Every structure is written in C-alpha cells, then in structure tokens.
Structure 1
Amino acid sequence: YGKDRPNNAITDIEGDGGDINKNCGGEYVWIVPVTTDAGNAGCTRFDVEIRDSVMDGYDDLAKGAGGDYRYLIPRIDCLNNHKIIEIRLMRSSSSVQHPPEGYSGMSNNINQGRENKGDHLYVVWKTAEFKGKK
C-alpha cells in the first residue's frame, strides 16, 4: 500500500501503472511478486477471492475502497511442473475469457462487482517447465 509504486511492483501488460484500485477509490494497492529458487514450490496459478469479511493472512486488494474484500491467492501444485515465471495485470473495458497471446493463464476478474468504477482487471501469467535438479 502507498502512493509511490514499489520498484518491483507488477504493471499491466500495456506497461502502465499497476494500481489495483485505479478509478475505484481507496488506497493505492500494488502487487509485488515473491520469488523462489525452489522450483517445486513455485506458484502454478492465482485465484481471486471476493468476500464480505476479512481473510486472515492476506492483504486486501480493495483497501479503503469500500465494499467487498478482494484477495489474490497464490496456488502451488507440486505435481504440476509448469511454474509461473512472470505476472502482469490486464485491464479491459469488457469481460475477458482467455489470457492474451503469450500468456498461459489468468485469474478471475479482480473488479467483479465494481466494474462501474473501474475496468475489468485480471492477473495474467507466463509459465515455464521446471525440470528439477539434475
């Protein structure tokens, strides 16, 4: 959280700022990725959970905007060798069903239920196969 974008915060695929609450009011909210060298522990997808109550252990993506709480949940599937190597945001004026070309996955709409204030907003990602130690 904070008005100044952290240097390592993700941006959208157009290269614009990455404020999650853009046009929705509330705090400036940024996503800063956490990386690991332990490939087996790498993230395989992200889910967005929208709730009417606080979710312990997670930061609210809609902090200060009022309405529902929004959380980005990293998922790790140790049996899936395709791990996320890059994440970005994707903004759209309409609903999107598939990730853009060059990306292998996308979350559900972070702004679901508040599209009248902001764009449809998704986390998109690229993956690479983790081959393990040789």
Structure 2
Amino acid sequence: MIQKIAVLYDSTDHSDIIQEIDGKSNELMKGHGGSDVYLYVEARTLKPEDALSSLNIAIENDERCGWSDLSKGAGGTYVYLECERNASDHRITEVRLLRSSEKSDIDYVRSRGYDGMTGDICDGRGGDYVYLIWKTTRLR
C-alpha cells in the first residue's frame, strides 16, 4: 500500500516516478513551461492505518507555505496534491497518471481497471487533461 507520494522537480532518474498509463509523458505540466514536475511514490507500507485512502488536487490563487507546487514556474494558479488517510475501508495500492486530449470521468477510469481519480491537474491551462488514477484494496 502507498504511504507517501512526493514531488520531484527536474529529474526523471528516480526509480519510483509515477508513470502514465498509456506510456505518454509523465511530466505533469508538459507544454505549460516552468519546471519539469514529476510525482513519485516515496514510501510504501504494510500497515493499513498508514496507507493513503484518497488523493485530491487543489488549485488555488495563493501559495501554500511548505507545500510543493505541481505547476512550479508555469505561472497562473498553484496546484497542490492533497493525500488523505481517512476512515474509508479502501487503501491505495497503485497510482498512475492519465493524460488525455479529452476530459475523462470515473466510468472511463473504472473501465481501465482503476478505482479512483483526481480532478484535472492542468485545469484551466489548456492542452492535455492530466489526472492521477489509482487502484485500491479493501480492508474488510
């Protein structure tokens, strides 16, 4: 199960970079300028209470002190990944990116064998739609 996802700037040499499901670019803001931004799985766990249960994208006008901006250097709004651990009986076991020229929804994600998805990481920027999608395991 996944315990922590982290942001990596300007490097693709990390072994646990989250890959795009169809082999497309895994650089989050590709085509939007700024830094090369990647996500990677920083920690895994066998303890359900430490595992992530959900992921969300927050797009804001103001910078969050101490948070890593997924749109670093691209200008415009700030984009943050919020990782949750809640009382849900599901825990995330695998995460991928979904990059598409068309908007996607949960039905499409489920048809690809995944259980959840974030909102569009590049919302309002034009170009590709980019989502984090994930598989879960049920605890009970």
TM-score (norm 1): 0.88
1:50 corresponds to = 59
1:32 alignment partner, SS class: strand
Q: What are the within-5 Å matches in structure 2 for residues 1-134 of structure 1?
A: 1-33=9-41, 34-77=43-86, 79-98=87-106, 99-101=109-111, 102-115=113-126, 118-130=127-139
User: Whole-Å Cα distance in 2 between the matches of residues 5 and 58 of structure 1?
Assistant: 22
Aligned CA RMSD, in angstroms, stands at 1.4
Structure 2 gap ranges (5+): 1-8
Q: Which has the higher strand share?
A: 2
The share of aligned pairs that are identical, in percent, is 33
Residue 64 of structure 1 and its aligned partner are, at CA, apart by 0.7
Task: Report the count of equivalent residues.
Answer: 128
Whether the 8 Å contact between 1:61 and 1:69 is mirrored in structure 2 is: yes
Structure 1: segments with no counterpart, 5+ residues: none
